[in-house]
Amino acid sequence: MLLWLIVLPRWLGLGPVPIRLRMGGWRLGPRQRLRMGGWRRLGPKGRRTGRRSPLLTGRGIAQLLALALVAEVATAATVLHPGAARPGEGSVFHLAKPYFPASTRFYTDPDNPAAQWVRGNAHDRRAAVIRKRIADQPQAAWFTDTDQGRVESQVRGVVRAARARGRLPVLVAYAIPQRDCGKHSSGGMANLSGYRDWIGGFARGIGASRAVVILEPDALAHLTCLKRRQQGQRYAALTHAGRELRKRAPHARIYYDSGNSRWLPAPVMAERLKRAGIDRYGDGIALNVSNFNATRDEVRYGLSVLRELRRPRLGAVIDTSRNGAGPTRDHRFCDPPGRRLGTPPTARTGIPGIDAYLWVKQPGQADGCAATAGLFVPGYAFGLTR
């Protein structure tokens, strides 16, 4: 976007002064440059005129004040700008402020995998570090049990415990049919009908409680491994899941998993999200789940996806559980060595459109290479704390 500010009155000796603003700062108009010593006026072809206005003159101060005001406005109103406006839409897309208050405290499940290992291995020399750095930190609870009755009971138990402690739980629904394309985390419900019943139980378990829901990691990013009919069923499953959660768990925040910055282009992911019902039922997108990409890359990608979606109410959450050292050079995703814990869970992101940094992946759980997927590996967990 170009914002043209006409700085008047004429007695400043400037005439109309175009100021070009972009995200991240401002630029001067085509015939002015700002130097440490003051304004440099340029001739018709960009040649220096030789005239300089000292920085501390009245004119220089007025100019700087005008620029400071414009910069302040630009900083306060962060926007994203699509390459071309769609018919009937404005050319400016405003990002929402982070949804959660900065003081939000997420729930720490006392029965998370790291905590269970620490209780059973209290004399292990690694136990104290794993307890402090991992077990005592808020992290998501994953629900994969394919029994509808059990998953409803499990979800209800977590949200009630979180509510009793005044904390906000993060819940991962992970039972989509053909999950993980038959790879390390394969499984899920056998068919669409079974999944509809399953997600209904999951939603009833939340009920009127507050919760953050991460909806089906990798489900949209993995679409290409499915046949066309199966792809249609997956879109139907995710749309139904969003609808059920919105209906039966009205106070839950629903974040559709959207892969990560190294997977699909933002326009492709945005189109898949729309077909999965995010426009109608979602509150945002989840990024970098179980991956290692740097937070700054995920922020950039997330904002690009939000720009494509053009729904100001949507936000993004980013999994920072294991991205403290970023990815390996070859972007290995399955239990790569030398990784580190990332930013602890917080809603204090300071970035419009980014609702929270979360530990969605439970640190120490294997991806399927160091051990069976989902198994807690104390050696790997301890390595993350180094």
The catalytic site residues sit at 180, 218
State the amino acid at position 384 in one-letter form: L
Distance of CA 208 to the CA centre of its chain: 25
Which residues are paired to 42 by β-bridges?
48
Assign 362 to helix, strand or coil. coil
- Residues ≥6 apart with Cβ < 8 Å to 15: none
Count of all residues that appear for the chain in the document = 386
DSSP state of 98: P
Asked whether the bond before 327 is cis by omega within 30 degrees of 0, the reply is no
Partners of 27 in the beta sheet? 20
User: Are 323 and 299 contacting, i.e. CB atoms less than 8 angstroms apart?
Assistant: no
Strands 284-287 and 141-143: unpaired
Give the contacts of 379 (CB within 8 A, at least 6 positions apart): none
**Encoded tokens for 113:** 């995998």
